Amino acid sequence: MDVAVVKYSGEDTGRKVSLSSDVFGIEPNDHAIYLDVKSILANQRQGTSKSKERAEIKGSSKKLKKQKGTGGARAGNIKNPLFRGGGRVFGPTPRDYSFKLNKKVKDLARKSALAYKAKDNSISVLEDFDFEAPKTKQYLALLNALSVQDKKTLLVLAENKQNVVLSGRNVQRTKVITAEQINTYDVMNADKVILIESCIEKISQLLNKQ
């Protein structure tokens, strides 16, 4: 699959780059995408929710009333979950929500996500560039030049260029990452994936490792 290479000013360079069919041309696997996205979101959960159960409530353990003959329901003590201020039944406790996913499944999921974007013509290739200084205005000008200012965008760099990263940090609906940081959730969440020309080979090498 050939994609035209454009300058960060939006002008066409007249060149085209070929996207690897081993990554961008595979048959997408929906279940692998589901598992990887689920894993990414689960790993982001803090898992610190906690509520007090009956044994942890401060209060007397004295039986409130006799067991029978009152005409009402039996009650053990003031910490009864049915009473105001009582313990919670089966409340949340701190836990780890993360789970292991095989590397080959992760690689397949990332390839599938990129293949979907390639099929939808949602991938643009940008000529290598860098900013002289971190400026949000320059990053906004880049998005306007590519006509993606109203879309969720993912810019993938070949290497960490701090000026570009800092320029796009405060821009809503956009994210800047390197080829090593590419993941299924970010790709699927973006309306437009913008690849720097030099990162394409890195992505292919990263996802085709044996």
Predicted confidence (pLDDT) per residue in 116-157, tens digit: 999 999 999 999 999 999 999 999 999 999 999 999 999 999
Q: Looking at the structure, tell me whether residues 37 and 62 fall in a common domain.
A: no
Q: Looking at the structure, tell me whether residues 121 and 151 fall in a common domain.
A: yes
Give mean pLDDT, residues 177-190. Answer: 95
Q: Residues near 113 by Cβ (< 8 Å), separated by ≥ 6?
A: 28, 33, 184, 187, 188
One-letter amino acid for residue 49 of the chain: S
> Whole domain around residue 168: which residue ranges?
2-45+100-207
When divided into structural domains, the chain yields a total of 2
> For the segment 7-43, what is each residue's pLDDT rounded down to a tens digit?
878 888 888 888 989 999 999 999 999 999 999 999 9
Please report which confidence band the pLDDT of residue 1 belongs to, taking 50, 70 and 90 as the band edges. confident
Token couple for 20 = 């690897």
The C-alpha atoms of residue 68 and residue 100 are separated, in whole angstroms, by 53
Cβ atoms of residues 167 and 148 within 8 Å: no
Residue 14's H or E segment, with its range, is strand 12-18
pLDDT of 210 over the 70 cut:
no
Q: Looking at the structure, tell me whether residues 197 and 146 fall in a common domain.
A: yes
pLDDT of the residue at 12: 83
The C-alpha atoms of residue 181 and residue 174 are separated, in whole angstroms, by 15
Q: Looking at the structure, tell me whether residues 76 and 156 fall in a common domain.
A: no
φ, ψ for residue 48, nearest 5 deg: -105, 5
Q: Looking at the structure, tell me whether residues 126 and 199 fall in a common domain.
A: yes
> For the segment 40-88, what is each residue's pLDDT rounded down to a tens digit?
999 999 999 999 999 999 999 999 999 999 999 999 999 999 999 999 9
- Count of positions (residues) in the chain: 210
pLDDT of the residue at 7: 86
Q: Looking at the structure, tell me whether residues 121 and 138 fall in a common domain.
A: yes
Q: Which of 96, 112, 136 finishes a domain? A: 96
Q: Which residue has the higher pLDDT, 4 or 113?
A: 113
What's 125's domain CATH number?
3.40.1370.10
Q: Which of 60, 77, 96 finishes a domain? A: 96
Cβ atoms of residues 105 and 35 within 8 Å: yes
How many angstroms separate the Cα of 11 from the Cα of each of 104, 126, 196?
38, 10, 15
